[in-house]
């Protein structure tokens, strides 16, 4: 597939359209791409009025859907061919080199059909990659970059051995210090703040049930973030951690292994969105020993995985909004993002259409960018994924790279199967959306 010629429109015709809203698929649909926007969506066999310079591509047997959204990733992770220790890599690799890996991870996600990423534990490197992609310097999805606010001995602090003074994220303790850290991230230009209100699985030396932050500290972080226009994502496995995060007014709950009926009701009342990250649990259970993960991390994952699946099923049947996020990073390499949709279908009970919505419009809305992306609609950013086959009949269509024909990011087409992801000829300049 070639790119739209300078000054012309790209018209894709004869495809099945899954528009991301959850509505039924439309056969023989056409999508008109004008620059970086969707100019029109024509449903059925209605003719598209032609204009001089149009580039028309007839694509029977293909499906067009919104570019995927992965709402929970860690860009600052090893993208190399030779995996290294998942806990030491971040503390023995210079930050300049790590930033290059982050850029490579963004490009891998784009090649897998992802046009929007939300990084959920970052600082300057992730912000820098976000800016470089937005400026057209690097190929990659739209990136929402976070700032991590965590306590001493908290989940975020336990990825570096205790003997090392250098941490991935400098901890903040006490309400005033937490507020200052949020303000520092706001000055950096992050899109959101990430906090932890329980221990984790991949962190070493802590226990999942450890309290992370007092109620006063959590409320201070959320209040300060919201006061500065920043959303808050909260990592929480335990019922206590989930409760304090919800009561403080967080925007998205990450993992949510300890959700019970009362907490689900709190989520429904507040409209809080759940990002369960089933992919990372599956990865740890199936590949943890081969990856050399610590025995304590594998044991924690074995305990939490069935609890999380049951909790997410209860949340889903109760009506909680659920979005797709993989937790891609050092343990789960970038590129397998569509697997999360399959897991939402297999373990949670979502229909294929509901799973696709979780990875497109629901995620975009939860991230506050639903006006720009997440559905195939006139006026929205031309973030599109074109695949061979029918993902509603078989979600694995989205997981096989050979089925991905073209990814359009803001109207610029990329070849997912190129040996190295490259720009096809296109209008130069930065992304406007």
Domain 68-366 coded CATH 3.20.20.140: yes
Instruction: Quote the pLDDT of residue 118.
Output: 98
Pairing of strands 146-149, 192-196: parallel
Strand partners, 41: 31
Q: What is the pTM of this model?
A: 0.94
Would 10-66+376-414 and 68-366 be classified into the same CATH topology?
Answer: no
Nearest to 113 by CA among 136, 131, 140: 140
CA distance 186 to 126: 14
| DSSP structure class, residue 347 | I
Of 82, 109, 147, residue with least CA distance to 385: 109
Torsion of CA 116, 190, 166, 107, to 10 degrees: 20
Residue 1 has pLDDT above 70, yes or no: no
For the segment 5-42, what is each residue's pLDDT rounded down to a tens digit? Answer: 445 899 999 999 999 999 999 999 999 999 999 999 99
CATH class of 10-66+376-414: mainly beta
Query: According to DSSP H, which parts of 19-94 are helical?
Result: 89-92
pLDDT digits (tens, 9 = 90+) for 53-78: 899 999 999 999 999 999 999 999 99
pLDDT tens profile 294-337: 999 999 999 999 999 999 999 999 999 999 999 999 999 999 99
| Rounded Cα–Cα distance for residues 326 and 336 (Å) | 8
Q: Tokens 């066999």 appear where?
A: 45
In 6-60, the DSSP E strands lie at 10-17, 26-34, 37-42, 55-58
Segment 92-102, tens digit of pLDDT: 889 999 999 99
Strand partners, 34: 37
Q: What are phi and psi of 108, to 5 degrees?
A: -60, -40
Q: How far apart are CA 224 and CA 235, in angstroms?
A: 18
Spatial CB neighbours of 334, under 8 Å, sequence gap ≥ 6:
73, 77, 79, 105, 106, 108, 109, 112, 328
According to DSSP, the β-strands at 55-58 and 10-17 are: parallel
Question: What is the Cα–Cα distance from 211 to 198, expressed in whole angstroms?
Answer: 5
Residue extents of the structural domains in the chain: 10-66+376-414, 68-366
Phi, psi angle pair for 268, to nearest 5°? -65, -40
What is the rounded distance in angstroms from the CA atom of residue 65 to the CA atom of residue 386? Answer: 7
Average pLDDT of the chain, as a whole number: 92
**Residue partners of 414: CB distance under 8 A and separation at least 6:** 110, 111, 139, 406, 407, 408, 421, 422, 423, 424
């Amino acid at each position: 597939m070639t790119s739209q010629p300078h000054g012309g429109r790209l018209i894709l015709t004869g495809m099945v359209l899954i528009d991301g809203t959850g509505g039924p698929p439309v056969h023989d649909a056409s999508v008109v791409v004008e620059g970086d926007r969707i100019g029109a969506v024509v449903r059925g066999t209605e003719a598209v009025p032609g204009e001089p310079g149009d580039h028309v591509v007839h694509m029977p047997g293909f499906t067009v859907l919104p570019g995927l959204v992965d709402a929970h990733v860690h860009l600052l992770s090893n993208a190399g061919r030779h995996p290294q220790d998942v806990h030491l890599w971040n503390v023995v690799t210079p930050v300049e080199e790590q930033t290059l890996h982050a850029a490579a991870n963004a490009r891998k996600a784009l090649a897998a059909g992802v046009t929007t990423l939300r990084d959920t534990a970052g600082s300057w490197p992730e912000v820098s990659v976000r800016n470089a992609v937005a400026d057209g310097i690097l190929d990659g999805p739209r990136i929402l970059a976070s700032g991590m606010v965590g306590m001493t001995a908290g989940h975020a602090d336990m990825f570096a051995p205790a003997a090392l003074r250098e941490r991935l994220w400098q901890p903040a303790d006490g309400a005033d210090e937490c507020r200052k850290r949020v303000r520092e991230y706001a000055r950096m230009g992050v899109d959101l703040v990430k906090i932890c209100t329980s221990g984790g699985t991949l962190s070493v030396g802590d226990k999942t049930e450890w309290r992370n932050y007092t109620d006063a500290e959590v409320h201070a972080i959320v209040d300060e973030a919201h006061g500065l226009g920043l959303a808050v994502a909260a990592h929480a496995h335990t019922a206590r951690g989930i409760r304090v995060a919800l009561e403080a007014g967080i925007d998205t709950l990450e993992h949510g292994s300890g959700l019970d009926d009362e907490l689900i009701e709190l989520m429904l009342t507040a409209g809080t969105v759940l990002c369960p990250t089933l992919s990372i649990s599956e990865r740890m259970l199936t590949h943890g020993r081969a990856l050399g993960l610590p025995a304590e991390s594998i044991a924690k994952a074995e305990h939490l995985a069935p609890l999380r699946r049951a909790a997410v099923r209860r949340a889903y049947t109760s009506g909680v909004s659920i979005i797709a996020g993989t937790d891609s990073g050092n343990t789960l390499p970038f590129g397998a993002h569509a697997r999360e949709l399959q897991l939402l279908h297999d373990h949670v009970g979502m229909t294929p259409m509901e799973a696709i919505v979780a990875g497109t419009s629901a995620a975009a809305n939860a991230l506050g960018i639903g006006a720009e992306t997440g559905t195939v609609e006139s006026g929205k950013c031309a973030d599109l994924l074109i695949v061979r086959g029918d993902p509603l009949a078989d979600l694995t269509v989205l997981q096989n790279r050979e089925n991905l024909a073209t990814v359009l990011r803001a109207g610029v087409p990329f070849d997912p199967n190129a040996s190295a992801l490259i720009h096809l000829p296109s209008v130069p300049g930065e992304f406007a959306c």
